[in-house]
Structure formats: C-alpha cells, structure tokens
Structure 1
Amino acid sequence: MAFVIRRAAGLYGYERALARAGFVRVAGADEAGRGACAGPLVAGACILGSRAIEGLDDSKKLTAPARERLYDIITKRAVAWSVVSISPAECDALGMHVANLEALRRAVWRLGVQPDFVLTDGFSVDGLGQPSLAMWKGDAVAASVAAASILAKVTRDRIMADYHADYPDYRFDVHKGYCTKLHQDALDAVGPCAIHRLKWDNVARTIRLGEL
C-alpha cells in the first residue's frame, strides 16, 4: 500500500492520508518507561476523533501541566483509548524488547473500537489483527501516536508518584524510576525495592554489592 504525505501536512498528515486511502479509524500506540529501571512499562493506544487537538505533541516535548491538560482533552474527545501496564517482574521475565511489543499489542487489543489501521512508535508489532506501520519517532510526526504517548506518560507518572508514598527513599516522584544520579544514590544506599527491574545492570550490581 502506498500513500503520499505532503511535507507540510503537519501532525495529522498520516491520519488524513490514511483516511483518503479508506482507513478512517487510525489508532496510534506508544509506550512510556522503557528506559526506566523501576516501575511498570505502560503503553497507550488512541483513535482520535475528527477535531484537531490544539497543542498536541510528543509527550517528551511537553511540560507536565501541558500533558495533564491534553490527557483530559484526549480522553474526552477520542473515539477510543486505552492504557495497559506491564509489571517490573514481567519486564524482567520477557526482556524489555518483547515486553515493549507486548505492551503495544495489548493496548491496541484493549481499544473499545476496532481500528482500520495502526501506527506504532518505533517497532513493528505483529498480531494486531489490522494493517500497521512502524514509525521512527512516530510520537513527533503522527497525531494518534502523540496522543498515545501522552496517555502512557501521564498514566505512568501518576503510578510512580503513588509509589513514592510507599518507597519514599527513592524519590520516584522526581525521576519516575529512570536511572538518574538521585535514583542511583538511593539504590546504592538501601538496595532495590519491590518495583525495581532486577535484571537491569545497575540494579543487579547493587544486589551483588549487598551480598558481599
């Protein structure tokens, strides 16, 4: 299948081109937390409505208040949306690449409306049941993927903020489980907790040090 995207088509260019080709309900899927060493991997999927959402962009380019505002708009206006979470233990068991594909697949499967076409960020995902296209930096170039990235990021940030109450030593409310110096200093001081991904090298190292 071939379709043409004009250079100046903007963030909604892929969805419009796919609609012209007969694929009206386009789902985007993206994840948050792949690079973290603690907390779940969260994936979002979204089929946007016909109205453009002002300010929609890759979640990484937005401030936290902007993401929260857009999350509320997306969940109200979307034709369908979903989020799924894969636990740290399952990430360890599957490996991060397989866990990432599984998260994207589950998010698309959970949509309440079946898409005609699926755009996935970064990786090709089999088993979706619909034609699909993997997009490099899809959250920056396709509206539905950008929306999915916001759903995943906001959901995961909220989960990690809640974990801060259970594990205050790690300051999950600040770094959200990513491998910052603040996080590593806490790991070195007190070792991993129940939501760490134990197969990550920096986490495994603290376990080995604790056993000496």
Structure 2
Amino acid sequence: MIRPGRGQYGYERALFRAGLSPVAGADEAGRGACAGPLVAAAVVLDPNRPIKGLDDSKALTARQRERLHGEIMARAVAVATVRVEHDECDRLGMHQADLHALRRAVARLEVPPSFVLTDGFPVDGLGVPGLGIWKGDKVAACVSAASIVAKVTRDAIMTQYDEEYPHYGFAIHKGYCTAAHQAALEEHGPCDIHRWCFDNVVRTARVGSS
C-alpha cells in the first residue's frame, strides 16, 4: 500500500516491498508541439540513492533541468531515450506515437524493469505490469526523472533545428504552438519538420498556396 506523505520515492519503495523491482518510470516530451520529434524516456532509479529536487520538467527552470539531468545520468540504474520523428507522428497520430515511443523506451533499458510507472495514463504492451499515475511526473521520482530526461533531450534537438530553420524560433519555443511560432508559420509556411496532423500547420500551408 502506498500511503500519502511518503515522498516521491513512495511508489518505488512500495513496489520493492511487494517484490516488484526494479521499477521504471516513463514519460515523453513534445506531444503538444506542432514541429519536431516526440521524445520518450524511461528511467530506473535507485531508491537508496535519492536525487533531490526532482519534479515535473515543466515546473523547473532550464538550469534546474540541466543540473538534474546530469545527476540522473550519473546516478540512475538505467536510462533510455527514443526519438519519434515528425513524419512518424503524422502517420501514427499523436496518441499512438506517444504509446509507441514509451514502449520502445522501456524496451531499450539495459536493466529490464519488473514494473513501469507512467504519467497520466496506462501503457499496454510493455511486457510487465504497469500503472498510469495522475501527475506522475510530480509524485513519482522515476517518472519525474524520465520527464526531465525527455525534455532536456528534446530541447537540445530543437535548438539544433533552430540553426537549420532560423525563421521559426525553435530554440525559444521548441516547436510548441505559441503566438510567435504561429506568426512565423503564417509568414513562412511549414518547414520540413512541421507535423501535418496539426490543424494550424495545415491552415498555414493552405494560406501559403492560395
């Protein structure tokens, strides 16, 4: 049983007591972006070597994420990331792309988990039992760690794309649907890494071709 107030490692420790160890957390970054890849990460942490300051990656500053990313990579039992390109997101649809990425990230872990925690919704096809947790990236340490790894990895990818496609401001908004990004889309039209499964991308392409 997982009791309130047990901290972010409460889930891992409870599952360990139940004989379900190691425990992996999995999360993604970029699902709501209309450009660039979706990135998923899976992380197995050692509950006996806690990392302080873990949180939902969106609640942290870029500097905090970078610091925690370094600690996670140095101290985690296992870490894996998966990149799903924009065209595969279009082909699968975002929800299926999300599920596909999370499964692949867990499968790539060098230490196979006995149980998987995911953020928000359960993921089938993992090969082991799992649990989707509401706000998992805030309440479960391994999911928080996966959230941070996915976010830092994807931000670096989008910053690199900013050099290739300088008109869109990818280094700033990372491909999410901000007002500045939409203005750039309306002025320049979609580029090669935009996702056509997003209505705002399709609309700007139609405007540009009219």
With the length of structure 2 as denominator, give the TM-score of the two structures. Answer: 0.98
Deviations 1:49-87 (CA, angstroms, capped at 9, x unpaired): 220001111111110001001001101111101110100
Matched, 1:69 2:67: yes
Aligned equivalent of 1:36: 33
Q: CA deviation at 1:123?
A: 2.0
Q: Sequence identity of aligned pairs in percent?
A: 65
* 1:10 and 2:7 correspond: yes
Letter in 1 for 2:64: A
2:106 aligned counterpart, secondary structure: helix
For 1:118, what is the secondary structure of its paired residue? strand
What is the CA–CA distance in structure 1 between the aligned matches of 2:122 and 2:93, rounded to whole Å? 17
Alpha-carbon distance, 1:24 to partner: 2.0
Q: Could you report, residue by residue, the CA deviation over 1:159-200 in whole angstroms, capped at 9, with x for unpaired residues?
A: 000000000100100000000010000000000001100121
Aligned partner of 2:18: which letter? A
Matching of residues 94-173 of structure 1 within 5 Å: 94-173=92-171
1:82 is paired with a residue whose SS is strand
Question: In structure 1, which of residues 84, 87, 91 is the aligned counterpart of residue 85 of structure 2?
Answer: 87
Distance 2:131 2:21 in 1: 15
- Which letter maps to 1:182? A
Question: Which residue identity is paired with 1:111?
Answer: L
Q: TM-score w.r.t. structure 1 length? A: 0.97
The alpha carbon displacement at 1:5 in A equals 1.3
CA distance in 2, matches of 1:199, 1:70: 33
Runs of 4+ more than 2 Å apart: none
Cα deviation for residue 207 of structure 1 reads 0.9
In the alignment, the residues of structure 2 paired with residue 186 and residue 42 of structure 1 have an alpha-carbon distance, to the nearest angstrom, of 24
Match of residue 172, structure 2, among 160, 171, 174 = 174
Indicate conservation of the 8 Å contact 1:101/1:123, yes or no: no
Distance (Å, rounded) in 2 between the aligned partners of 1:98 and 1:11:
28
SS in 1 for 2:49: coil
Residue 51 (structure 1) aligns with = 49
Which consecutive residues of structure 1, in runs of 5 or more, have no partner in the other structure? none
Work out whether 1:19 is the aligned partner of 2:2: no
* Cα distance in 2 between the residues matched to 1:185 and 1:157: 21
- For structure 2, the 5+ residue unaligned runs are none
Paired residue secondary structure (2:193): coil
Q: d(CA) in 2 for partners of 1:173 and 1:44? A: 21
| Structure 1 match to 2:207 | 209
CA distance in 2 between counterparts of 1:124 and 1:8 reads: 23
- What's the secondary structure of 2:82's corresponding residue? strand
Question: Matched residues in 1 for 2:36 and 2:120: separation?
Answer: 21
Return the letter of the residue paired with 2:23: V
Aligned residue-pair number: 209
In 1, Cα distance between equivalents of 2:160 and 2:209: 30
Deviations 1:3-60 (A, max 9, x none): x111111111101111110112000000000000001000000000220001111111
